[in-house]
Amino acid sequence: MFGFTPADYSAIYLSLKVSITATLISLPFGFAVAYLMTYRRFRGRVGVDVAVNLPLTLPPVVIGYLLLLLLGHQGPIGKFVLQPLGIRLIFTWKAAVIATAVVGFPLMVRSMRTAMEGIDERLVHVSRLLGARALDTIMTVIVPLSVRGIIAGSVLMFARGLGEFGATVIVAGNIPGVTQTIPLAIYEYASSPRGDVMALSLCAVSVVISVAVLFFHEWLGRRVVRAE
Amino acid sequence: MKKAAILFLAIVFLFACGVRAAEVDVSAAASLREVVNALTDNFAKKQPGVEFRNNFGGSGALAKQIENGAPADLFFSANVEWMDYLKGKKLIDDKSVFIFAYNVLVFAGKADVLAARLQDIVRLDRIAVGSPKSVPCGQYTMEALMNAGLEKQVESKLVMCRDVRECLLYADRGEVDGAFVYKTDIELAGQAVRILFTVPQEYYSRVTYPAGLTVAGAKKAEAVAFLKFLRSAEAKKVLLEHGFAVK
């Protein structure tokens, strides 16, 4: 199909793998942050809010660069935590996952928060009054009632992750077959005078995946509504 | 309302003034950054009123920019291929093209990296190269790796960079074990990066820099004059000082 090279196929596979992994890893953290922001009043709440949402407004390149400084060979985490443990992150697909997770995280949290804020607060209080522990309340009241937001946030983050370029190119580099995702492959083809056909073919793949994701999102939304 | 109209006219006027006839747009290979800046500075000193706007990048990317209508009067490529590509598109003034410099491919890294010859790089973990789709340095590198029979062994270790200077940056920061760059690039990096070995010339075609006027540039006297200056003994001296070969 389209005359893709093995490197192009692995770019498509890698994009999906990186984005799915980043989304799954972020799910528990996203839920925890959304829960704290919605139901708890604590010091530094505004600070957390700003920190979580910052990647939404910061240029992804800035995030990538800061991550590189932090996790790279000379960075504080890279030098004193990762290297002694023998972990190499920069220029591996794991770095792409981290970059994608950071960039997409606010989207996930926002969706979840909106859903949680829509839950009738009395339901939460009643469950506590009836003797449910905090964890029981979360699992039996909050999660079921905010499941649409959780799914919507995850899908949104996944879709955003597929397009992640700025932060990824800095921390994961551009290694065909190893860290080269669809946007990076397109970028490489786009700057090559003879790459237009291939760039467009990969664009077509991107469009197909994005449309599929949106349909899935829509379909899930409807299904959940019916279930309710 | 009237004030706004005056302000609008003033802004239009300012923009109109900004465009002057003696501006020359240069698109040059990333490896030429310092030497072309030095050459254009020299030339501008002698011919006041000429202003150069230098744009550096991977030669293939520059060729594509020019193909898509980016303003360029002069094009300096790091290989013949991308110059010929633009010639084929009738965007370069054929008669103006000549080769003005040569370079050498080296492997650079920190002093503690164990690589003394080309065959040693299979033991390394991450290697920066220019993207062979558009960066000449990467094209020469892939040619050398293929001729040395190492291509398959290092395939998954190659970090593709958008131009040769990005390769160097990665090596300088220590994020890769080494980078294939030109000899002339090394003088710029920090103390930590040095030439670990020179790639044997028999493995790759000689690094050749053609210069040429674009069709638009051929009509600009200043651009034509600068290309002529590039052939002078003075320009050759500057090229030699920056480590390039001129024949």
Tell me the backbone φ, ψ of residue B57, rounded to 5 degrees.
180, -175
Range of the domain at B13: 2-102+207-241
A79–B contact, CB cutoff 8 A: no
Domain presence at residue B247: no
Residue among A175, A190, A193 whose CB faces B160 most closely: A175
Q: Are A173 and B82 in contact (CB < 8 Å)?
A: no
Is B212 in the same domain as B93?
yes
CA A212 to chain centre: 18
Domain presence at residue A95: yes
Domain presence at residue A57: yes
Is B93 in the same domain as B135?
no
Contacts of B158 in chain A (CB under 8 A): 175-176
Is B98 in the same domain as B211?
yes
* CB-based contact B159:A90 (threshold 8 Å): no
Q: How far is B92 from chain A (nearest CA, A)?
A: 15
Task: Give the pLDDT confidence score for residue A168 in this predicted structure.
Answer: 94
Round to whole Å and give the CA distance between A213 and A218.
9
Contacts of A95 (CB under 8 A, 6+ apart): A67, A71, A89, A168, A171, A172, A179
A175–B contact, CB cutoff 8 A: yes
Q: What is the CATH number of the domain that holds A21?
A: 1.10.3720.10
Pairing of strands B127-130, B105-110: unpaired
The amino acid occupying position B98 is F
CB interface of B with A, residues 19-78, below 8 Å: 58, 60-61, 63-64, 67
**Model pTM?**
0.81
Domain presence at residue B132: yes
Contacts of A73 in chain B (CB under 8 A): 173-175
Here the ipTM equals 0.73
Q: Bigger pLDDT: A74 or A133?
A: A133
Task: Give the pLDDT confidence score for residue B35 in this predicted structure.
Answer: 95
Is B24 in the same domain as B113?
no
Q: What is the mean pLDDT of chain A?
A: 90
Round to whole Å and give the CA distance between B235 and B145.
33
Low-confidence ranges of chain B (pLDDT < 70): 1-2, 6-21, 189-191
Task: Give the pLDDT confidence score for residue A31 in this predicted structure.
Answer: 96
Q: Which two tokens stand for residue B129?
A: 């190269």
Q: Give the pLDDT band (50/70/90) at residue A5.
A: confident
Q: What is the CATH number of the domain that holds B55?
A: 3.40.190.10
Is B126 in the same domain as B192?
yes
Is B86 in the same domain as B121?
no
Is B6 in the same domain as B43?
yes
Can you tell me the mean pLDDT for A28-40?
94
Q: Smallest Cα–Cα separation from B113: which of B71, B35, B175, B51?
A: B175
A139-172: pLDDT as tens digits: 999 999 999 899 999 999 999 999 999 999 989 9
| Number of structural domains chain B divides into | 2
Is B85 in the same domain as B109?
no
Contacts of B238 (CB under 8 A, 6+ apart): B35, B38, B39, B42
Contacts of A177 in chain B (CB under 8 A): 155-156
Q: Smallest Cα–Cα separation from B195: which of B109, B81, B121?
A: B109
Q: In chain A, what percentage of residues exceed pLDDT 70?
A: 97
Q: How far is B29 from chain A (nearest CA, A)?
A: 14
Task: Give the pLDDT confidence score for residue B202 in this predicted structure.
Answer: 96
Task: Give the pLDDT confidence score for residue A1 in this predicted structure.
Answer: 52
Best residue of B27, B80, B131, B152 to probe chain A, by most A CBs closer than 10 Å? B131
Q: Are B131 and A191 in contact (CB < 8 Å)?
A: yes
Task: Give the pLDDT confidence score for residue B7 in this predicted structure.
Answer: 67
Domain presence at residue A52: yes
Domain presence at residue B69: yes
Q: B164, B179, B198: which is the final residue of a domain?
A: B198
Domain presence at residue A1: no
Best residue of B160, B161, B163 to probe chain A, by most A CBs closer than 10 Å? B160
Is B62 in the same domain as B111?
no
| Number of structural domains chain A divides into | 1
A72–B contact, CB cutoff 8 A: yes
Contacts of B87 (CB under 8 A, 6+ apart): B94, B97, B212
Q: Which two tokens stand for residue A67?
A: 């991550």
Is B97 in the same domain as B212?
yes
Please say if the pLDDT value at position A106 is more than 70: yes
Domain presence at residue B135: yes
Tell me the backbone φ, ψ of residue B93, rounded to 5 degrees.
-75, 100
Is B188 in the same domain as B231?
no
Q: Are B131 and A174 in contact (CB < 8 Å)?
A: yes
* CB-based contact B105:B137 (threshold 8 Å): yes
Q: Which two tokens stand for residue A123?
A: 């339901």
Q: Which two tokens stand for residue A93?
A: 């697909």
Range of the domain at A88: 6-227
Domain presence at residue B41: yes
Q: Give the pLDDT band (50/70/90) at residue A222.
A: confident
Q: Are B134 and A191 in contact (CB < 8 Å)?
A: yes
Is B169 in the same domain as B214?
no
Is residue B211 within a helix (H) or strand (E), and if so which, with residue range?
A: strand B207-213
